[in-house]
Structure 1
Amino acid sequence: MTPDLDPVIHAPARLRIMAALAGLEPGDTLTFSRLQQLLALTGGNLITHLRRLEDAGYVTSQRVRGIRGEVTTASLTEQGRRALAAYRATLADILDPVDG
């Protein structure tokens, strides 16, 4: 029997956030505004999903001082990378045909 997909990641917007952040090198970040542009999400929708991912320990965000004032950045935690890898493996198990 295949384990269930992680419900925190499985929501479409959160899966897209995780995938976008997973494309970064560990320790790299994306600004909130850049993530919002990439995913075409409203600010309120993005912050809601980021908070849920943060509560699960998958994402971390911080406010940093930039040239034009403070900006919020987000990155995937090591726990988030492991959770996404497990999610992908589970999804592959579900999608792979049953051997004969």
Structure 2
Amino acid sequence: MAKADEIIHQSLRLRIMAALHAARADEGMEFNRLKALVGATDGNLGSHLGTLEGAGYIALTKDFVGKKPRTRAAITRAGERAFRDHRDYLRDVIEAGG
């Protein structure tokens, strides 16, 4: 059986990783779009993005659109691998229970 990834397992981080995994073909996702998608506050999302970035699972880029700051998050290759492994772990748990 696959092993749980304790960083991804937290429910908001799992939702973040799922959203970024789905958006991987794009150039990541803007902070406000991600915030709305996962139902987080600014501070809560920022904290969890910091944890995921520290683990090497996501990359954050900051730039400006005109004079307005923009933060984008994108899943990394290590993040892709960790997300797939954790997804397999969850699948194993579900199938073992059924």
TM-score by length of 1: 0.88
- Measured after TM superposition, the shift of residue 3 of structure 1 is 4.0
The whole-number CA distance in structure 2 between the counterparts of 1:68 and 1:24 is 26
Residue aligning to 1:11: 10
TM-score by length of 2: 0.90
Against the structure 1 CA distance between its residues 68 and 38, is the aligned structure 2 distance closer, same or farther, given a 3 Å change threshold?
A: farther
Alpha-carbon deviations, 1:36-61, whole Å to 9, x = none?
11112110000000000001000110
Unpaired segments of 5 or more residues in structure 2? none
Residue aligning to 2:59: 60
- The farther-off stretch of 56-65 and 20-29 is 20-29
Unpaired segments of 5 or more residues in structure 1? none
Q: Which runs of 4+ in 1 moved over 4 A?
A: none
CA root-mean-square deviation: 1.6
Q: Which has the higher helix share?
A: 2
What is the 5 A alignment of 1:38-57? 38-57=37-56
Over alpha carbons, which structure has the higher Rg?
1
Aligned residues with identical type, % of pairs: 36
- Work out whether residues 2 and 85 of structure 2, in 8 Å CA contact, stay in contact via their aligned partners in 1: no
What is the total number of aligned residue pairs between the two structures? 97
Q: Secondary structure at the match of 2:81?
A: helix
Q: Secondary structure at the match of 1:65?
A: strand
